[in-house]
Chain A
């Protein structure tokens, strides 16, 4: 029962470097999400994927790209990292069509520092 798995757990980048955060869920959920958590700002939605084959911008999409590789996997890419992207990143999944069971399941997070 792995749930939502994120890799890596920690990462340090230099300004301008690129990287991809990986996320996979094993609950057969249709919807997947990427959030960032910053002190005083709460959780902000970066991108989401309502279902396989679709992606949409959230509240703070600038500087990020996403790929919904298949139903299980949803990756987040930073093409040219900036210090403002230093944050903790959380992936989540949900099954909206099951009213009784609707809720977000979160991964354990990736702590990213951009120097």
Chain B
């Protein structure tokens, strides 16, 4: 069975500081990993994904994430946070090899303080 854990309900960071939002996963076979962001009263928007290749992937709005197979993690990072990055962030996984299910974590609320 697939599962995703986001251990932090909320992350607070000062504007200009680096940020990390954590995600760990459990899946049989190769994982397809995703990050989505939800701004207030909006739907979810795609940020980035890891399918194969380089473990460090870059996405929208200056975000990046590092795939770590040994730690089964896919943490979201940004070198310098902006107040406008404040939102709800979701990690998701799909097991490669024929399943069509995307399973999401519980979400982490990021608050960037001015």
**A residues in contact (CB < 8 Å) with B:** 31, 33, 35, 40-45, 48, 50, 56, 58-59, 90, 92, 94, 96, 99, 102-109
Contacts and interface: CB of A to CB of B under 8 A. Distances in A.
A43 B92 CA distance: 9
5 contacts: A31-B100, A42-B6, A102-B32, A104-B36, A104-B102
A70 to B, nearest CB: 18
Interface residues of B, number: 24
A64 to B, nearest CB: 16
A104 B43 contact: no
Given A104-B44, A109-B43, A35 B104 contact: yes
Interface of B: 6, 9, 32, 34, 36, 42-46, 49, 51-52, 90, 92, 94, 100-107
Contact of A106 (B44, B51, B106): B44
A65 to B, nearest CB: 18
Given A103-B46, A103-B49, A42 B90 contact: yes
A102 B51 CA distance: 9
Contacts, number: 59
Contact of B103 (A59, A92, A103, A106): A59
Contact of A104 (B6, B34, B51, B106): B34
B107 A94 contact: no
A57 B12 CA distance: 36
A102 B96 CA distance: 12
Contact of B101 (A40, A42, A58, A106): A58
A42 B5 CA distance: 10
Contacts of A48: 100-101
A108 B42 CA distance: 6
Closest 4 CB pairs of A and B: A42-B106, A43-B104, A50-B100, A106-B43
Contacts of A109: 43
Contacts of A41: 106
Given A42-B107, A103-B34, A33 B44 contact: no
